[in-house]
Structure 1
Amino acid sequence: MRFGCIADDFTGGSDIASFFVKGGLSTVLYNGVPEANEDPKADVCVIALKTRTQETKTAVKDSLEAISWLKKKGAQQFYVKYCSTFDSTPEGNIGPICDAVMKVLDVPYTILCPALPVNGRTVKSGNLYVNGVPLHESPMKNHPLTPMWDSDIVELMGTQSTFPSMKLSRSINKEELENYIENVTKETDASHFYLVPDHDKDKDAEKIIQLFGDLKLITGGSGLAEPLAKMHNESVQTGISGKSKSPALILAGSCSEATRNQILEYQLSGGESYFMDPNKLLSGEDSVENIWNVIKENKGKSILVYSSDTPKNVKKIQEQGIESVAEKLENATADLAERAVNSGYNRIIVAGGETSGAVTKRLGYSGYHIGESIAPGVPIMIPTHDIQTRIVLKSGNFGESDFFIRALSSI
């Protein structure tokens, strides 16, 4: 195993796994820390956790458990993957997790690089942008779980981490790096620290990897995975391919603008859909049983079931208690996915990180072969013990407006 990677949720795990595959490295993705006797025969092993929104102490504990497992399995380098839109909350988990991993691996410094230019996430002068708009001015400022209140990565880490962070000059080269690191160590008198490189073009990733590709620990989004894989590519990627002829169930729980546009495009194309109204589920006016009957009445055709809504409407619903609403929706979505797979639906497409986590946990698949990507960061996944099934999990903000249509034609 060349790389051991931990990701903050399942869609984040499939996202970075897809880029390792694109770079030419065989990759296996696990849902949670595998059993001790599991033997991942791949260049890269990605462990998807639930640390994006977990309580911090639990998130750190789970992260260290995963790193320990990867070390025992022979990982030579490590990657902490977090969301490409970071986390603006002072109580965010990125800082505590990266601090803990840096200490346990005994590395003096690493980089913070959440960029993924191909999906509009860029870092310029240490500030994070979404499609050219500063993070805290983008639609992500209204994210229901991790609202984005700042775009300066150094400032964001200042509230989360116990170690200093500093912006790295774009002009620095390999020859200058050693002296620069030595000076930073003296000036900060810190045992550990972070560097924030600019990454607003795809070619920037190649330079970052030239500078830092040999680090024992790298942290960031998935934007560095492909050039990192190419740097170490020693194998020929062979995936499991082939399409399924079964009907598909599409489940959308993300309330991002991108997913809402994808739902609209799917509906305008003539695709069948059903709105899973949170209020009706909470009141008992609607139920999983009723929704499943609607799916069955569709007579084996593909159908989209969605709870995605505007931030304004989501906020109104959350006034009834965010935990009860989220739990109800996640359980309902997972129930539908389980019924579908048990009824011969071999194509499952899910939009939204939390929704994907609930679905994969319920389906119980522990490992996945990573295949080709439908969109950047969104691969086709084949369960290692059920190679007839095709699963696509996408982060809410990923994909063009025709994503669901393209996904159906690809799997």
Structure 2
Amino acid sequence: MILGCVADDFTGASDAASFLQAGGANVILSNGIPEREDEDILEAQAVVIALKTRTCPPGEAVDRSMAAFSWLKAHGARMLYFKYCSTFDSTENGNIGPVLDAALERWDIPYTLLCPALLENGRSVKDGKLYVNGVLLEDSPMKDHPLNPMRDSRLKYLMERQSRYPCFNLGAGELERGFRPYEKPGHYYLIPDYYEEKHGRMIAKQYGNLPLLSGGSGLLRMIARTWEPDEERSVLTPSRCAAPVILAGSCSEATRTQIRYYESKGGASLRIHPLRFVQGIQTMEHIRAFLEENKDQAALVYTSAPPDEVNRIKAEWRESYPPLEHYNEELLAGTAAYALESGRKRIIAAGGETSGAVMQKLEMHTFHIGRSIAPGVPVMYPAEQEGMELILKSGNFGQEDFFIRAARDI
């Protein structure tokens, strides 16, 4: 194993795995720390472990992340990578800083990079500031994220509110000249410019062998390209069994746009209203009947809603009800389980928390990585369920026609 990657949610892990695969690596994704020493895992060039820690308290995130890193090192990983969101997605109470601080300290590593850039999806870093499709992060739709609203674009500022160590911006000019590590006591972080493809190549060349790196998935493809390609990695093909089921829990603007586009083209859909559901007005029987009525075509079930409606639902949500976010996740995860029981082995999920809940419910742990439907969104094949295909996407990923494209190509 050359690289061991720990991702803070499942769609982040599949994103990372897809870019490693695109770079030519033989990669395996594990949902959580592997419980057994699977031969496929031990023979892979890269292993990605998916955790569900993005919104965890820092202490819990550190413990779980360090356990995953330690497992990877114990099984031969020469370098570690901490994968987080390409929009950083972490406020002053977040855990990116604490996790990386702990890793630097545990293995006595002087410094590492903060490199969230992912040009394929419009995320770039210039002068230490993070941009989304050319707009500062603080002015993008991420400013209204329901869990982690991003109100600042300066990565140095975002990180230093979480970390015990200083951050330094690394401009494109310094990157081109070649950076010499600071000869200073203590740990620190570098934030390289990455707004052109050549910057990724330079970062991979200069820093690709550091014992610890961190960031989005874009850098992983560049790193994998520096390795010897694995000529024996298998080519996976679609099974075309039963019509796909699409589950959307993300409230991101991208996912809501994809839902509107899918519905405008006549796609079968059922919106779940959590207040109606908890009051018994909507039930699982409604979902089952909808899936049965649309058993021969793709069917979308979603809880996604715009920010103002989410706020209204939260205001009306009683303390006696289950936590809203978990309630929605469990509804969609239960729908996935019913779909599988009904013989529908092709499932598409939108949203990191939704995807993580679906995987927990289906009890699937090890995945081979296939072709990508969109940048960072691969088709995955669970080792535990023959013939099954999964597409799990981050809420912000994918084109306007993503659901139609995914339903057609899976």
TM-score normalised by structure 2 residue count: 0.96
Q: 2: distance between equivalents of 1:87 and 1:290? A: 35
- Segments of structure 1 that go 5 or more residues without pairing to the other structure are none
Q: Equivalents in 2 of 1:318, 1:98: separation in Å? A: 33
Report the counterpart of residue 350 of structure 1 in structure 2: 349
User: Counterpart of 1:113 in structure 2: which amino acid?
Assistant: C
Shift in Å at residue 36 of structure 1?
Answer: 4.5
Structure 2 unpaired stretches of 5+: none
1:175 shift after superposition: 6.7
Equivalent residue, structure 2, for 1:374: 373
Deviations 1:169-204 (A, max 9, x none): 2112577423xx1xx333xx3x21000000112221
* Structure 2 counterpart of 1:37: 37
- Structure 1 window deviating more from structure 2 (201-210 vs 25-34): it is 201-210
1:288-307 pair list within 5 angstroms: 288-307=284-303
Q: Tell me what 1:219 maps to.
A: 214
CA distance in 1, matches of 2:338, 2:12: 25
Letter in 2 for 1:32: G
Q: Is 1:209 aligned to residue 211 of structure 2? A: no
Q: 2:190 aligns with which of 195, 199, 203?
A: 195
Partners of 2:295 and 2:70 lie apart in 1 by 48
Tell me which residue corresponds to 2:243: 247
In structure 2, relative to structure 1, the CA distance for the partners of 1:234 and 1:302 (3 Å cut) is: closer
Contact 1:174 1:211 in 2 (8 A): no
Q: Match for residue 283 of structure 2? A: 287
Matches within 5 A, 1:21-100: 21-39=21-39, 40=41, 41-100=43-102
Structure 2 residue aligned with 1:318, among 306, 314, 325? 314
Letter in 2 for 1:195: L
The answer on whether the counterparts of 1:243 and 1:410 sit within 8 Å (CA) in structure 2 is no
Query: Percent sequence identity over matched residues?
Result: 47
CA contact (8 A) 1:4 1:79 kept: yes
What aligned pairs does 1:150-165 form with structure 2 within 5 A after superposition?
A: 150-165=152-167
Match for 1:260: what amino acid? R
Deviation at 1:234, TM superposition (A): 3.3
Query: Could you report, residue by residue, the CA deviation over 1:252-295 in whole angstroms, capped at 9, with x for unpaired residues?
Result: 00111110111111111111000011111122211222211221
Residue 264 (structure 2) pairs with residue 268 (structure 1): yes
Of 125, 128, 131, the residue aligned with 1:129 is 131
* 8 A Cα contact 1:118 1:202, kept in partner: no
Corresponding residue number in structure 2 for 1:331: 330
SS at match of 2:161: helix
Residue type at the aligned position of 1:246: A
Deviations 1:39-96 (A, max 9, x none): 4121110000011111211111000000111011101111000000103411011101
| Residues 204-241 of structure 1 deviation map (CA, whole Å, 9 limit, x = unaligned) | 10011111111111100001011100101331232321
Assess if the C-alpha contact under 8 Å between 2:263 and 2:269 holds in 1.
yes
